[in-house]
Structure 1
Amino acid sequence: MSVLRHLDLSANFFNSTIPDWLYSFSHLQFLRMASNDFQGMISSAIGNLSNLITLDLSNNELAGILPTSLGDLCNLKEIRLSSIKVGGNISQVLNILSGCTLDGLETLDLSSSQLSGHFPDAIDQLKQSKNLVFLYLSTNSLFGYIPESLGVLSSLKVLDISYNNLSGPFPKSFGQLAKLELFWMTQNSLQGDVSEVHFANLTRLREFAGCKNHLVLKVRLDWIPPFQIEIISLISWQLGPQFPLWLHSQKNLWGLDISNTGISDTIPTWFWNLSPQLYYLNLSHNHIQGEIKNMPLVFHDSSVIDIGSNHFYGRLPHLSSHVRALDLSNNSFSGTIFHFLCYRMDEEKDLVLLNLKGNLLSGEIPNCGMSWERLEFINFGNNRLTGKIPSSMGSLSLLKSLHLRNNSLSGELPLSLQNCTDLMFIDFAENKFSGSIPAWIGESLPNLKILILRSNKFHGNIPKTLCALISLQILDIACNNLLGSIPRCFMNLSAMTTRQNSVGQMLYGPGTFIDNPFTGVLENALIVMKGELVGYSTILHLVRCMDLSDNNLFREIPMELMSLLGLQSLNLSYNLLTGRIPENIGAMGLLESIDFSVNHLSGKIPPSISSLTFLSHLNLSYNNLIGEIPSSTQLQSFDESSFMGNNLCGPPLMDNCSVKNGTPTFGNKRGKGGGVEVDWFYVSMALGFVVGFWGIVGPFLFNKAWRFVCFQLMDSMWYKFYDFICMR
């Protein structure tokens, strides 16, 4: 054991401190202990390992400043300390390594190590590292500019300074790093112009990720870069308005992201034959125009294409069967989708994600879903589609997300959809779907998290089978013709009964390849929250809400509903609900929005509502509520409109009240002589009624057309009331 030279303990489950006996292996040259749960500080006894060439302690729970003895290890060529809690100032860390260690170092990885400090000072300290080849400083809190002295690190092949707080211009000395192959500076605050001189000697550059800075690329129209790039990401740079012609010279591209770069040109014909191995293409969020008859690019297996949020028009293009994710959303593509979905039905399709949202597509969804059996995510929302959901949609057994919002689709939901047992997200809002809400939704879709059926023509009772959806966190069935009572078993919706958890974001399919490979496309949803339609994406997994508004639901609000302690929004407005507001509503401590307006609720506002400290939207208007509004800073901060149309008093209403036998009464006013004083308020009300009555009724007596419309409306209201009485 004393002559041990290689020790690799990586990727185990060690969760102790680093044992002292380890430092007795004086002949050890390669020590790898990455991806464990080692804790505590790195001992100064590490200085005993004088022959050490490689030290890898990354991805552990180690914390604290590095021991000074680490700087005495003169043979060290590779130090990897990423994702441990080194902390402190980077200059202090480099000071410790500034002995003989830094002279011969080839690899230094301090990424995600909670470091701060002035970046120019750090580069100055690294000048003595003439042999430094790999430098990783990403995901820290380094600030300042990138100094021109960066060019001194002439041996660098890989440099990663992404996800810091760097600012200022991009240094021209970057072009002197002739050996540089991979460079990442994503998510900083660099600004200014970048010209040809910045790339002058970068003949070996293969990857360049500079996205999400504030840089402008200013090069000649005929510029030919000295490199043959493989992956390049310039998200949020200013490249336009012209399409970057220098891309014509790049024949090895397999990852290109120039989204949100101000391009308003058309795509040159040569672009579609650019590279035989293109794997990732993102041109989204520009103003690119024109028609795409097809995509002749020979895409690599499982490729990703995103040209969404542009101004493309015409028919949907044919595409390679190798495409895995396709986003054509928010353009002006028109026509039917028949030729697109039913093209070469005999081919095996790799498509996992298909986003056609926000176009001008019309016609029916064709019944050829069986040829797209790998699809997991479909978004056809905000188009002009008509007809029914085809039964073949049920053959997509891997489907997880289905968006059909804001079309003119009709008919009942097909029974075949119950075969899509992996479904987690359904958004069928703003269509013309009819029939009852199918019971099989609760019986066959156990993973459902989001169910949005608002603004359709569904009728009948709310199926109690929905109570089996224990993962459901958003239920929106508002603006339909539903009737009956609110199911008491909603208390079983366990995802709504718990506080927000840390479950990861809702992602589908492959996403941005360059920065976060295969992280996927973020799910998004439109939800009425606090009286407004709000879009959620990055925090959608944290949202818990229930919207049953604008239906014909009657009877009382079930007490059991108050056990949904994780709800942030509860909307029961515009129904026929009766009885009292449940006394234990105050237990729903996370509620931010309550809307019970326009019902027939009675009794007092429960005092417990005062304990809802997160409440920022409340509407109890137009009910039969009585008594004094409970006192709390929260409730008194709401506008009067939150309580109008009731028999309530007390702040924030202007009416003062005294309570007698549980009912607010207003004292009689008497004049100075002891007689009853005329209350001109009530006199004016009477006069107002007379004037108002004849002002409204009078025209109907002389206008036949108006009279007919009025009586027709009253007749309709009577029949609705009669149906309601019969159903009870």
Structure 2
Amino acid sequence: MFMAKSPMDTLHFSCIQIAIALLLFTQAKSTTEGSTSALHPNDAIPSCVAGEKSALLAFRAGLSDPANLLSSWKGDDCCRWKGVYCSNRTGHVVRLDLQGNGQALAGNISSSLLGLHHLRYLDLSHNRFDKVHIPEFIGSINNLRYLDLSGSLFVGSIPPQLGNLSNLRYLNLGYISDNTYSTDITWLSRLTSLEHLDMSGLNLSTLVHWLPSVNMLPTLKVLRVTNCLLKNSPDSLLLSNLTSLETLDLSENHLHKHSRPNWFWDLTSLKYLYISGNGFYGPFPDGIGNMTSIVEIDLSDNNLVGMIPSNMKNLCKLESLVSFRNNISGSIAELFHRLPNCSQNKLQDLFLSDNNLTGSLPTAPVESLSNLNQLYLSDNKLTGHVPVWIGELKQLTTLDLSSNNLDGVIHEGHLSRLDMLQELRLSDNSIAITVSPTWVPPFSLGIIELRSCQLGPKFPMWLRWQTHVMSLDISNTSINDIIPDWFWTAASSVMSLNIRNNQITGFLPSTMEFMRAKEMDFSSNQLGGPIPKLPITLTKLDLSRNNLVGPLPLDFGAPGLETLVLYNNMISGAIPSSLCRLRSLWLLDLSSNNLNGSITDCLVNKYSTNMTDLTLSIVNLSLRNNNLSGEFPSLLQKCPQLIFLDLGHNQFSGALPAWIGEKLSSLSFLRLRSNMFCGHIPDELTELVNLQYMDLGYNNISGSIPRSIINCTGMTQTRDNDDLRDAFTSGVYSAGNELVDYTENLTVLTKGQERLYTGEIIYMVNLDLSCNSLMGEIPEEISALVALKSLNLSWNNFNGKLPENIGALMQVESLDLSHNDLSGEIP
């Protein structure tokens, strides 16, 4: 007899059914990929198989583990070891996830891994297996479905045995190392289940026909062959099997061919296409408009010309169009008109910087841009005003209109609804930003670049509310005002700060050391007062052309300082010995101040425990136009990288030391003009083979010109000056700006005039010994200095004849031998 079930019985029965269903589902999952059947080691699972534990221990024995990544590999249950995942049903090891992530394994890969018969997932990426080849036996781990060796520093050829992994669905060989290559990838055609293939960074330059092997993979969804030195890109595939392909990254292969035809334009299944940096030339292919599944397309760094095709309106799923550094020409309004304008506007990112777009931005709202996150239009030829509808793009996070010819006014109406804005880049336009002093912006910006816009004359008060800025550039913005105290508080977290070329007055704050800046440029203002202790994070500082006074800090406070530019101020006192602590300093310009006394000698200062081992990194040192005195600074013996040295217009005295030739072997420019140096020109000075500029004018040097001057090949040969450029210019690029923009400048007496040389000084080859007490004949070896552009030996006591071959100095533009006792005929 059957009894009726109560509601509680029914509920109990339903719970049992659910539990059984969950159990069956879990068991079913265990038969799928290892990545889904494996549980985390800390979950409740059966103990690991003894033979597999032994295999793992043998594998670990061949490895070097400096970061103790495998410190948990102890105890009986290997399923609880870090990176080891076991099946929740059988206890077999099915997944080994040992990606380095900055703390890397090294050593050899043991074939004991073959003992993991059920292994389906193997990730050895981002380790340091340098000088080791990828083991061929990996091709015998038959059940592998996932293999990631990217960034692991293996060298040599990719083993074709990987083609035996017939179950493989994911294969990542991307950027293994610079010394990894493949000369034959036909083995790929056997991986018929492969869905994801990344060979980025592999050297495939010897492959002529690489695509047919890839075309044998009908299930492939992702193909990345970035920077593989591929030699060709076929025009078409007669029969394409790549009907499932959704992502294709072919960028940075420098194929240098016409933009059409190309095989990938026919892949209408593509969602993500990246072909940047290939030198494709010609018009934008109409085939783009047929790729109606496309979500992201990157065409940048090519030479595509003309306007984007009109059928791009069909790309209703398009979210990101990247086409910077191309040659798009035509009206910006026409380009906007050709963007997809479907019922649901999905376009979020528009990167069109560095093209040839012209005309004015449309005055009416552009419907296709209504959901835009990022708008990059910098480095084009846009004119006119910035329209107010820009302020209606409420999702906008980045607005970059810099380096155009835009003008007019941006006011609160442009900005008050941009709550999401994070980056505002308007530099190098003629835009005036005019807002109320009491206006509080709705956004919190991370990057503000307004160089050469009109912000002044008052200091822009709205910056007070921007307290999370990482990069701030308000240089050359016509500010003529005292710098407010709140600015230093708001800018305390800024890493890259540029306020150069204004008329800003006031003082540097005593709390400057608590700022977080790495780079600061305050040059060409009217800042006064002393230099306070600097932020500990600071690497580059330019305070030149201000009104700073007082001594240099006894403690600079920035041990990593690389560039310190303080010329044209009123800084006084001696150069402190704390300079010796700046071991990273390579550019120091203290010229045109009121410094006095002798140069500190690090050999006797308190900041180093072993001064005999002290080495400074200074490459460019300029101390000219001060009141410094004493002998030639012995400190310079500790500057072996010195290329440019200017001690001119001081009160240095004594003889030039012979060690200059040995200790300063890299010296190319030596300027000691207008001091009180005496004695002979040491022969050792001519051992400076790179010396191309030597100015000893206006001293008390006597004796004769060493005949070994012929050893200065910098004056005998025209050299490649590119290697000097870095020593004379300092450009720190931060968020697209050049910060601490320093160019060496000095005056050269040539053609009877003092001429100012800036960046082009690297091309100047000059020998100036004028206004000394040199005597004897001008040596014949002078005629061998055929790279000279200026030779000045005037106001000395030279006698005898001119060198017979002086006419060989064919590069000379200025020759001054006046006020000597020369005789005889002009050759």
Interval containing the TM-score (normalised by the shorter chain): 0.7 to 0.9
Alpha-carbon distance, 1:279 to partner: 0.9
Q: In the aligned structure 2, how far is the partner of 1:591 from the partner of 1:22?
A: 63
| 2:313–2:339 Cα contact (<8 Å) kept | no
SS at match of 1:483: strand
Q: In the aligned structure 2, how far is the partner of 1:511 from the partner of 1:124?
A: 38
Q: In the aligned structure 2, how far is the partner of 1:566 from the partner of 1:25?
A: 64
Q: In the aligned structure 2, how far is the partner of 1:150 from the partner of 1:582?
A: 77
Alpha-carbon distance, 1:536 to partner: 3.6
Supply the AA of the counterpart residue of 1:574: W
Please show how residues 508-657 of structure 1 align to structure 2 within 5 Å.
511=732, 513-516=734-737, 521-578=742-799, 588-602=809-823
SS at match of 1:326: strand
Of stretches 283-292 and 109-118 in structure 1, the one that deviates more from structure 2 is 109-118
Q: Among residues 257, 265, 269, which one is paired with 1:40 in the alignment?
A: 257
Q: Among residues 695, 718, 734, which one is paired with 1:498 in the alignment?
A: 718
Q: In the aligned structure 1, how far is the partner of 2:374 from the partner of 2:444?
A: 16
In structure 2, what is the equivalent of residue 290 of structure 1? 506
Q: In the aligned structure 2, how far is the partner of 1:554 from the partner of 1:409?
A: 29
In structure 2, what is the equivalent of residue 390 of structure 1? 600
In structure 1, what is the equivalent of residue 456 of structure 2? 240
SS at match of 1:39: coil
Residue 400 in structure 1 maps to residue 615 in structure 2: no
Q: In the aligned structure 1, how far is the partner of 2:759 from the partner of 2:464?
A: 36
Q: What root-mean-square deviation, in Å, do the aligned CA atoms of Structure 1 and Structure 2 show?
A: 3.0
| 1:123–1:150 Cα contact (<8 Å) kept | no
Q: In the aligned structure 1, how far is the partner of 2:783 from the partner of 2:387?
A: 60
Of stretches 169-178 and 507-516 in structure 1, the one that deviates more from structure 2 is 507-516
Q: In the aligned structure 2, how far is the partner of 1:371 from the partner of 1:332?
A: 26
In structure 1, what is the equivalent of residue 468 of structure 2? 252
Q: Among residues 287, 293, 305, which one is paired with 1:69 in the alignment?
A: 287
Q: In the aligned structure 2, how far is the partner of 1:251 from the partner of 1:83?
A: 35
In structure 2, what is the equivalent of residue 95 of structure 1? 309
In structure 2, what is the equivalent of residue 226 of structure 1? 442
Please show how residues 9-408 of structure 1 align to structure 2 within 5 Å.
9-14=225-230, 16-19=231-234, 24=240, 26-27=242-243, 28-46=245-263, 47-86=265-304, 88-89=305-306, 91=307, 94-95=308-309, 98=312, 100-101=314-315, 103-126=316-339, 128=341, 130-149=345-364, 151-152=366-367, 153-296=369-512, 298-300=514-516, 303-337=518-552, 340-342=553-555, 349-392=559-602, 395=614, 397-408=616-627
Deviations 1:267-325 (A, max 9, x none): 2222222255221222222111223351347322x622222222222222233322222
Q: In the aligned structure 1, how far is the partner of 2:309 from the partner of 2:675?
A: 67
Deviations 1:150-178 (A, max 9, x none): 64422322222222332322222222222
| 2:386–2:406 Cα contact (<8 Å) kept | yes
| 1:26–1:50 Cα contact (<8 Å) kept | no
Q: In the aligned structure 1, how far is the partner of 2:358 from the partner of 2:789?
A: 38
Pair 1:437–1:195, CA change in 2 (3 A): same
Pair 1:21–1:528, CA change in 2 (3 A): farther
The TM-score normalised by the length of structure 1 is: 0.75
SS at match of 1:466: helix
Q: In the aligned structure 2, how far is the partner of 1:138 from the partner of 1:591?
A: 45
Supply the AA of the counterpart residue of 1:484: G
SS at match of 1:465: helix
SS at match of 2:292: coil
Of stretches 161-170 and 378-387 in structure 1, the one that deviates more from structure 2 is 161-170
Q: In the aligned structure 2, how far is the partner of 1:376 from the partner of 1:168?
A: 44
SS at match of 2:520: strand
Q: In the aligned structure 1, how far is the partner of 2:456 from the partner of 2:309?
A: 44
In structure 2, what is the equivalent of residue 485 of structure 1? 704
Supply the AA of the counterpart residue of 1:573: S
Deviations 1:66-117 (A, max 9, x none): 443343222233222322222x33x2xx12663634x433222222224443
> Structure 1, unaligned stretches of length 5 or more?
607-728
Pair 1:424–1:159, CA change in 2 (3 A): farther
Alpha-carbon distance, 1:415 to partner: 2.3
Alpha-carbon distance, 1:544 to partner: 3.4
Q: In the aligned structure 2, how far is the partner of 1:164 from the partner of 1:260?
A: 21
Supply the AA of the counterpart residue of 2:432: V
Alpha-carbon distance, 1:550 to partner: 2.6
Q: In the aligned structure 1, how far is the partner of 2:533 from the partner of 2:468?
A: 24
Deviations 1:513-539 (A, max 9, x none): 232477864444443344443444443
Q: In the aligned structure 2, how far is the partner of 1:402 from the partner of 1:227?
A: 43
Please show how residues 466-477 of structure 1 align to structure 2 within 5 Å.
466-477=685-696
Alpha-carbon distance, 1:143 to partner: 2.9
Q: In the aligned structure 1, how far is the partner of 2:272 from the partner of 2:802?
A: 68
| Count of residue pairs brought into register by the alignment | 594
> Structure 2, unaligned stretches of length 5 or more?
1-215, 604-610
Alpha-carbon distance, 1:229 to partner: 0.9
Alpha-carbon distance, 1:457 to partner: 1.3
| 1:505–1:540 Cα contact (<8 Å) kept | no
Pair 1:602–1:20, CA change in 2 (3 A): farther
In structure 1, what is the equivalent of residue 217 of structure 2? 2
**Sequence identity (%):** 36
